[in-house]
Amino acid sequence: MTTATTVKTEYEAIIGLETHCQLSTNTKIFSNSSTAFGGDPNTNIDPVCMGLPGVLPVLNEKVLEYAVKAGLALNCQIARYSKFDRKQYFYPDLPKNYQISQYDLPIAEHGWLEIELVDAEGNPTRKRIGITRLHMEEDAGKLVHAGSDRLSGSSYSLVDYNRAGVPLVEIVSEPDLRSGLEAAEYVEEMRRIVRYLGVSDGNMQEGSLRCDVNISVRPVGRKEFGTKVEIKNMNSFSAIQRAIDYEIERQITAIVAGDRIIQETRLWEEGAQRTSSMRVKEGSSDYRYFPEPDLAPIEVSNEQLEKWRSELPELPAQKRHRYESELGLSAYDTRVLTEDHSIAEYFETAIASGANSKAAANWITQDIAAHLNKQKLSITEIGLTPTNLADIITRIETGKISNAQAKQKLPDLLTGISPEKAFAGQELITDPSVLEPIVDEVIAANPKELEKYRNGNTNLKGFFVGQVLKKTGKRADPKLTNELVEKKLNA
């Protein structure tokens, strides 16, 4: 008997992503209007992005720099000669009725990105996902559907052109992804990279990073791809994963039932947790590309390319590999530490200030991370500097304070109180000659417990250790206290 699980294992998904990344330039790609997010509708506009007659676009050089840096970070070949094209796209949110993009000569091609999946035991699996191309283009405006209509749901639409002309790079992957989990990790790594570069804020909730997903399924072993279906404008990692997993199951179920998959564009319905048909998918011929006559071709010189290459930071994957190989950290620790550039900088500053790398990783990924998550803060917003964290770790390792003392004082330290002030008068008692009389006093004060211990109830050692800690205000060195108590009890 064939089960649903058996049927699923007979098919594999072929997934490719088209990721649109908004570049963090101050002005638009072809004009001087602001790219600031939010604000009143139709305030960040000008004759160029509105497509008024008699105006000419001029390429923002910062857009070219950011696009080349993104291409280099994705291991792409940078085109020394590329051009812009007009993409015919008739829609209310594009005033010109065409989009300036790149078609046959993009700025970057033939790259790759490494994704890393960590299993429940913390073991990483790495996979390279090919990058077909990266090209520059302008964004469209935003439609807001309003009113109430029984059939369509809205009776009119409003258009905000603030986003029209905002610079984008579109990054097209090879069809190397095989699951929703891999696709979500691909987009997460893409966001890490553009944030490390400083070319985009990657805020998916603001539309700075969004992607279209192309999915087909085929029997395992077949070389030919199945019919491709596109899911438009995905803007969260979890939605990407759930939409892909749903669509894979939908297509397999249809094929097994003998239904035909059609090439179409679908939308993800978050409330219903399903995809629904939007329109039959256009092909490149529908866009009627031709070279943009108002913009000169782009030539990237050797000097420009080497300058921009020299400005690239160490990227997330490089840091993960270095932290594992040189510092001996786990895959989990390296992943958390490299998630955000500011966290990696904090960690590395703490190490440079003398902190043990494993201890620093534990504090950052556990206690400090818990505080950040609870208070919804970034690591740059806390008062505990990486230098002070290194000081705390050194105090613990040299026996001046205990780990428990440090954790108890962490709320104060996170507000910016210095370790000197936080631990003033609280250094551990590590001198046996000071601690031994206190141990003697505690044992003498508890003869009944001493008798029970010597009659076989050895668990009472913890009672005596606790009494010593209590008597010293928890300043007694726990390790030394345990040794002295055991020695005295067994005398």
Average pLDDT, the chain: 92
CA-to-CA dists, residue 229 to 182, 266, 282, angstroms: 18, 7, 11
Name the band, by pLDDT with cuts 50, 70 and 90, for residue 434: confident
Does residue 56 fall inside a structural domain?
Answer: yes
Does residue 427 fall inside a structural domain?
Answer: no
Name the band, by pLDDT with cuts 50, 70 and 90, for residue 284: low
Name the band, by pLDDT with cuts 50, 70 and 90, for residue 429: confident
Question: What mean pLDDT do residues 435-456 have?
Answer: 89
Q: Which segment of 94-98, 120-124, 163-167 scores lowest on mean pLDDT? A: 120-124
pLDDT for 151: 58
pLDDT > 70? residue 10:
yes
Cα(443)–Cα(298) distance, rounded to whole angstroms? 85
Q: What is the pLDDT of residues 195-229, one digit of tens each?
A: 999 999 999 989 899 999 999 999 999 999 999 99
pLDDT for 5: 52
Name the band, by pLDDT with cuts 50, 70 and 90, for residue 279: confident
**Nearest 5 degrees, angle CA 378-CA 380-CA 384?**
110
Does residue 339 fall inside a structural domain?
Answer: yes
Cα(80)–Cα(66) distance, rounded to whole angstroms? 15
- Tell me: do 40 and 134 sit in the same domain: yes
Collapse the DSSP code of 228 into the 3-class scheme (helix H, G, I; strand E, B; otherwise coil) and give the result: coil
Does residue 50 fall inside a structural domain?
Answer: yes
pLDDT for 309: 98
- Tell me: do 287 and 402 sit in the same domain: no
Q: Which segment of 120-134, 138-152, 178-192 scores lowest on mean pLDDT? A: 138-152
Q: What is the pLDDT of residues 385-427, one digit of tens each?
A: 999 999 999 999 988 888 888 999 999 999 999 999 998 877 7
pTM value is: 0.86
Does residue 458 fall inside a structural domain?
Answer: yes
- Tell me: do 408 and 444 sit in the same domain: no
Total number of domains constituting the chain = 3
Question: What mean pLDDT do residues 1-8 have?
Answer: 49
List, in sequence order, the alpha helices (H) in 105-236: 180-197
List, in sequence order, the alpha helices (H) in 223-315: 237-256, 284-287, 302-310
- Tell me: do 212 and 360 sit in the same domain: no
Question: What mean pLDDT do residues 135-152 have?
Answer: 84
pLDDT for 192: 97
Phi (first) and psi of residue 246, to 5 degrees:
-65, -45
Domain endpoint, select from 268, 288, 305: 305
- Tell me: do 130 and 241 sit in the same domain: yes
Characterise 75 by phi-psi region: left (phi > 0), alpha (psi -120 to 50), beta (else).
left
Cα(103)–Cα(467) distance, rounded to whole angstroms? 77
Does residue 143 fall inside a structural domain?
Answer: yes
Q: What is the pLDDT of residues 353-395, one digit of tens each?
A: 999 999 999 999 999 999 999 999 999 999 999 999 999 999 9
Does residue 318 fall inside a structural domain?
Answer: yes
- Tell me: do 187 and 290 sit in the same domain: yes
Q: Within 13 Å of residue 232, how many CA atoms lie on the same side as its CB?
A: 11
Collapse the DSSP code of 484 into the 3-class scheme (helix H, G, I; strand E, B; otherwise coil) and give the result: helix
pLDDT > 60? residue 1:
no
| Lookup result for tokens 């205990």 | 402
Name the band, by pLDDT with cuts 50, 70 and 90, for residue 235: confident
CA 396 to chain centre: 32
pLDDT for 285: 65
Question: What mean pLDDT do residues 167-180 have?
Answer: 97
pLDDT for 176: 97
**pLDDT-above-70 percentage for the chain:** 96
Residue 146's beta-bridge partner residues?
156
Q: Which segment of 39-53, 67-81, 122-136, 150-164 scores lowest on mean pLDDT? A: 150-164
Name the band, by pLDDT with cuts 50, 70 and 90, for residue 119: confident
**Bigger pLDDT: 486 or 18?**
18
Phi (first) and psi of residue 132, to 5 degrees:
-70, -50
Q: What is the pLDDT of residues 307-352, one digit of tens each?
A: 999 999 999 999 999 999 999 999 999 999 999 999 999 999 999 9
List, in sequence order, the alpha helices (H) in 292-363: 302-310, 316-327, 331-338, 341-352, 357-362
pLDDT > 50? residue 469:
yes
Does residue 53 fall inside a structural domain?
Answer: yes
Domain endpoint, select from 422, 448, 472: 422
Q: Within 13 Å of residue 115, how many CA atoms lie on the same side as its CB?
A: 21
The CATH number of whichever domain residue 443 belongs to comes to 1.10.10.410
- Tell me: do 260 and 364 sit in the same domain: no
The boundaries of the domain holding residue 472 are 432-489
- Beta strands 290-291 and 274-280, pairing class: unpaired
- Tell me: do 395 and 485 sit in the same domain: no
pLDDT for 2: 40
- Tell me: do 241 and 330 sit in the same domain: no
Nearest to 37 by CA among 171, 240, 200, 234: 200
- Tell me: do 40 and 63 sit in the same domain: yes
Find the distance separating the first CA and the last CA of the chain, reported in whole Å.
73
- Tell me: do 368 and 453 sit in the same domain: no
Cα(71)–Cα(68) distance, rounded to whole angstroms? 5
Domain endpoint, select from 281, 305, 329: 305
Cα(144)–Cα(42) distance, rounded to whole angstroms? 13
pLDDT for 155: 84
pLDDT for 3: 45
Residue 224: exposed, middle, or buried by beta-carbon count in 10 A (0-12, 13-18, 19+)? exposed
pLDDT for 426: 78
- Tell me: do 48 and 16 sit in the same domain: yes
